[in-house]
């Protein structure tokens, strides 16, 4: 196919859009791929739509190849199925809710577990029907709190979502692995660099779940990786290696010290080191008790929770949230302190917590036999050598302390370094939550019902266009990998005379004949404008038909490397076919 720039619905921009924070957003707008319609709402112009369709095609091919079957649901959905699973409310403000003319409640689908479960229940009844994997590539709606970076985080976006239905756990694992393999093929074909991170810690009791994160400095997700092994994980999923328990017998007795003016860890450490206690203290020797409150789903009442972490670390709120989910968690307010006068701000210790029945969870480093400096539950007082397992017994451990570069890798090999990424895919062993909500059963060989177990798997199709742009661009513009480029070859007719124009047209026709897609710059613009646009648009191979034609050559330029080669015009078509088919 030949796309002529003279008539293409495309206007490139010389200036960056004012609202663009990241390169992909800036370039996709400047190169005329997308245009903003509303916060988190973008239209796809011809070149953008071609890239989007290419991504979609690769996703579809690999889904079909693994045996998944494509179906399509409406985006406009009735409330009832989402009411049945509690997600009508659980989704909170992220859900677009609306009413029809009869005042019935509807929503715009953010993800479709309910509908897939109901549909399978409607069609299948026997164990012989299973397993089955269904998918769709469909527009999703989420009223994101912070739509961001153009199509990276939209409120309307294209997602591939698939769902597996199996009779038993082994089947679910198999369906999960099929997806994992297909995702690797998809992201490899798209040419992105990514890591697979475990998304949930075992402590949460969740079943297997992994995220595919495209590496990008501009990413919103932070993850850590080991310097020495392939270990990579979301910060929320990092499990702190616990040191071995120690004997409590040889530890000095706990002593309360008057420590005036030491409300912070820093002032406390300075005070202790100046107090002549015969050893040096660091912030890591102190135990900081951070007060929060949690609320279980469906409950009105908040419960106090004390989180004990080594004083050299902050509580990471996202880790804390992940650790207590599905409960909500919030910081204590003044009123909470006022209602619980045993909490002496700045001097909270394990004693008062335990005497007053406050749930007390500590960092995994607080093992039996470790001695701590912590609050003595009295203003201006701390206790030194309070020994875990002897002087206090926490209710359990919690992964809430920040993870830092240099921490040991949970797999015991190397240390952790921090990196940033953008989530492009998520695979998740759901289990029976949705099957339970809808009583999705298969009749077994023994005529007994078998509760189906599900997996759910997503890929951000439209987000991937931005992710590829994020990973593949330079100061002049976009640089598409061949697999998704809006054209195979971009021919620039650089010159006004008829011979040059005819030469460009002829080459375009030959390439078209050979099955290549050609973007032909046949405009009357100056060569300078055309070259700049070619760089901006980012087709991986640019052919300049210009002055050289008189001596029988055209110039072939590699957009990524900038490398230029002169090719005899008679060989140009076969050269380009070979190049693009490589």
Cβ nearer to ligand ATP, comparing 343 with 464: 464
C-alpha–C-alpha distance, residues 500 and 491, integer Å: 12
Check binding of 214 to ligand ATP (CB under 6 A). Answer: no
Nearer to ligand ATP, 91 or 337 (CB): 91
Residue 424 or 567 having the CB closest to ligand ATP? 424
Q: Using an 8 Å Cβ cutoff, are 25 and 150 in contact? A: yes
Write a three-state SS string for 545-578: ECHHHHHCEEEEEECCCCCEEEEEHHHHHHHHHH
**423 touching ligand ATP, by CB under 6 A:** yes
Question: Among the candidate windows 5-13, 268-276, 421-429, 512-520, which touches ligand ATP by CB under 6 A?
Answer: 421-429
Segment near ligand ATP (CB under 6 A); pick from 329-337, 391-399, 422-430, 570-578: 422-430
Question: What DSSP letter does each residue of 371-424 carry, written as one string?
Answer: EEEEE-SSTTEEEEEEEBTTTB--SEE---BPP-TTSBPTTSSSBEEEEEEEEE
Q: Is 312 in the site for ligand ATP (CB under 6 A)?
A: no
Taking CB under 6 A as the criterion, which residues in 157-186 touch ligand ATP? Answer: 157, 159
The residue whose Cβ lies closest to ligand ATP is: 460
What does the block give as tokens for 386? 């309070």
CA distance 120 to 174: 19
Smallest separation (angstroms) from ligand ATP to the CB of 575 = 38
Toward ligand ATP, which CB reaches closer, 60 or 142?
A: 142
Stretch that binds ligand ATP, among 179-187, 326-334, 419-427, 435-443 (CB under 6 A): 419-427
Residue ranges with strand state E in 142-185: 156-166
Site residue total, ligand ATP (CB under 6 A): 15
Among 351, 463, 490, 557, binds ligand ATP (CB under 6 A): 463
Q: Which of 154, 503, 538, 540 binds ligand ATP (CB under 6 A)?
A: 154
Q: How far apart are CA 85 and CA 542, in angstroms?
A: 53
Compute the distance between CA of residue 150 and CA of residue 41 in angstroms, rounded to an integer.
Answer: 8
Closest CA to 385 of 397, 395, 370: 370
Q: What residues contact residue 501 under an 8 Å CB cut-off, 6+ apart?
A: 493, 495, 522
Does residue 353 have a cis peptide bond before it, meaning omega lies within 30 degrees of 0? no
Q: Is 321 in the site for ligand ATP (CB under 6 A)?
A: no
**Shortest CB 150 distance to ligand ATP, Å:** 10
> Rounded CA gap, 196 and 420, in Å?
13
Question: Which of 12, 111, 139, 340 contacts ligand ATP by CB under 6 A?
Answer: 111
Interacting span for ligand ATP (CB under 6 A) from 74-82, 249-257, 418-426, 429-437: 418-426
For residues 384 and 395, is the Cβ–Cβ distance under 8 A?
A: no
**Residue 206 found at the interface with ligand ATP (CB under 6 A):** no
Backbone angles phi, psi at 426, to 5 degrees: -145, 125
Residue 455 is a binding residue for ligand ATP (CB under 6 A):
no
Question: Cβ(111)–Cβ(458) under 8 Å?
Answer: yes
Which CB sits closer to ligand ATP, 90 or 228? 90
- Residue whose CB is less far from ligand ATP, 288 or 426: 426
425 binds ligand ATP (CB under 6 A): yes
Nearer of residues 32 and 460 to ligand ATP, judged by Cβ: 460
Contact window for ligand ATP (CB under 6 A) among 289-297, 317-325, 393-401, 420-428:
420-428
Q: Distance between CA 233 and CA 200 in Å, rounded?
A: 9
- Of the candidates 3, 52, 2, 50, the residue with the CA atom closest to the CA atom of residue 515: 2
Q: How many CB atoms lie within 10 A of CB 244?
A: 7
> Among residues 154 and 308, whose Cβ is nearest to ligand ATP?
154
Q: How many helices (H) and strands (E) are present in the chain, helices listed first?
A: 15, 32
Under the binding rule (CB under 6 A), the answer on residue 144 touching ligand ATP is yes
Residue closer to ligand ATP, measured from CB, 153 or 490: 153
310 token code pair:
């080594």
How many angstroms from the chain centroid is the CA of residue 117? 25
> Which two tokens mark 553?
């050559």
Q: How far is the CB of 533 from ligand ATP (least distance, A)?
A: 28
- Residue nearer to ligand ATP on the CB measure, 178 or 489: 178
Closest approach, Cβ 539 to ligand ATP, in A, equals 25
Shortest distance in whole angstroms from residue 105 CB to ligand ATP = 22
Q: Which stretch binds ligand ATP (CB under 6 A): 2-10, 187-195, 370-378, 457-465?
A: 457-465
Those residues whose C-beta lies under 8 Å from the C-beta of residue 552, and which sit 6 or more positions away, are: 568, 569, 570
Nearer to ligand ATP, 159 or 511 (CB): 159
Cα 121 vs. chain centroid, distance in angstroms?
A: 31
Nearer to ligand ATP by Cβ, of 144 and 385: the residue is 144
Angle between helices 46-65 and 461-471 (to 10 degrees): 110
- Judged by CB under 6 A, does residue 426 bind ligand ATP? yes
Interface residues with ligand ATP (CB under 6 A) are 111, 142, 144, 153-154, 157, 159, 423-426, 458, 460, 462-463
């Amino acid at each position: 196919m030949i796309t002529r720039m003279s008539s293409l619905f495309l206007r490139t921009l010389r200036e960056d859009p004012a609202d663009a924070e990241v390169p992909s957003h800036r370039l996709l707008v400047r190169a005329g791929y997308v245009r903003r319609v509303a916060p988190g709402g973008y239209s796809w112009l011809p070149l953008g739509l071609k890239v989007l369709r290419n991504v979609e095609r690769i996703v579809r091919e690999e889904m079909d190849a693994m045996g998944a079957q494509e179906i399509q649901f409406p985006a406009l959905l009735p409330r009832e199925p989402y009411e049945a699973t509690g997600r009508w409310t659980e989704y909170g403000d992220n859900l677009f809710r609306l009413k029809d003319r009869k005042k019935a409640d509807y929503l715009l689908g953010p993800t479709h577990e309910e509908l897939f479960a109901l549909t399978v229940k409607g069609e299948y009844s026997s164990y012989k029907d299973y397993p089955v994997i269904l998918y769709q590539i469909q527009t999703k709606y989420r009223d994101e709190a912070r739509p961001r970076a153009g199509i990276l985080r939209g409120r309307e976006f294209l997602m591939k979502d698939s769902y597996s239905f199996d009779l038993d756990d082994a089947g679910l694992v198999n369906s999960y692995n099929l997806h994992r393999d297909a995702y690797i093929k998809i992201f490899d074909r798209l040419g992105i660099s990514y890591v697979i991170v475990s998304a949930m810690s075992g402590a949460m009791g969740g079943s297997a779940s992994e995220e595919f994160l495209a590496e990008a400095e501009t990413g919103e997700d932070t993850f850590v990786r080991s310097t020495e092994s392939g270990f990579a994980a979301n910060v929320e999923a990092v499990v702190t290696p616990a040191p071995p328990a120690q004997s409590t017998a040889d530890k000095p007795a706990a002593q309360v010290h008057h420590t005036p003016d030491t409300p912070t860890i820093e002032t406390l450490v300075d005070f202790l080191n100046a107090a002549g206690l015969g050893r040096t203290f660091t912030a890591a020797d102190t135990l900081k008790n951070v007060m929060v409150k949690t609320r279980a789903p469906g409950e009105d009442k908040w419960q106090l929770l004390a989180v004990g972490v080594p004083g050299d670390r902050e509580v990471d709120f996202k880790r804390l949230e992940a650790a207590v989910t599905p409960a909500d968690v919030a910081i204590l307010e003044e009123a909470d302190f006022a209602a619980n006068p045993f909490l002496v701000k700045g001097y909270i210790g394990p004693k008062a917590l335990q005497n007053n029945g406050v749930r007390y969870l500590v960092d995994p480093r607080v093992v039996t036999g470790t001695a701590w400096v912590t609050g003595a539950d009295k203003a201006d007082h701390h206790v030194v050598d309070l020994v875990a397992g002897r002087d206090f017994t926490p209710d359990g451990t919690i992964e809430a302390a920040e993870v830092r570069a240099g921490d040991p890798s949970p797999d015991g090999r190397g240390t952790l370094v921090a990196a940033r990424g953008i989530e492009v895919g998520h695979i998740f062993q759901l289990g029976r939550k949705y099957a339970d909500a809808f009583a999705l059963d298969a009749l077994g060989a023994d005529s007994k019902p078998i509760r189906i177990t599900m997996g759910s798997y997503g890929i951000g199709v439209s987000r991937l266009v931005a992710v590829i742009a994020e990973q593949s661009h330079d100061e002049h513009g976009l640089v598409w990998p061949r697999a998704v480029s809006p054209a195979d070859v971009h021919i620039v007719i650089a010159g006004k005379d008829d011979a040059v124009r005819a030469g460009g047209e002829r080459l375009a026709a030959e390439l078209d004949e050979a099955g290549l897609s050609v973007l032909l710059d046949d405009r009357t613009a100056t060569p300078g404008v055309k070259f700049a646009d070619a760089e901006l648009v980012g087709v991986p191979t640019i052919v300049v038909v210009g002055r050289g034609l008189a001596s029988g050559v055209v110039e072939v330029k590699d957009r990524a490397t900038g490398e230029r080669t002169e090719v005899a015009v008679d060989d140009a078509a076969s050269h380009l076919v070979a190049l693009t088919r490589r």
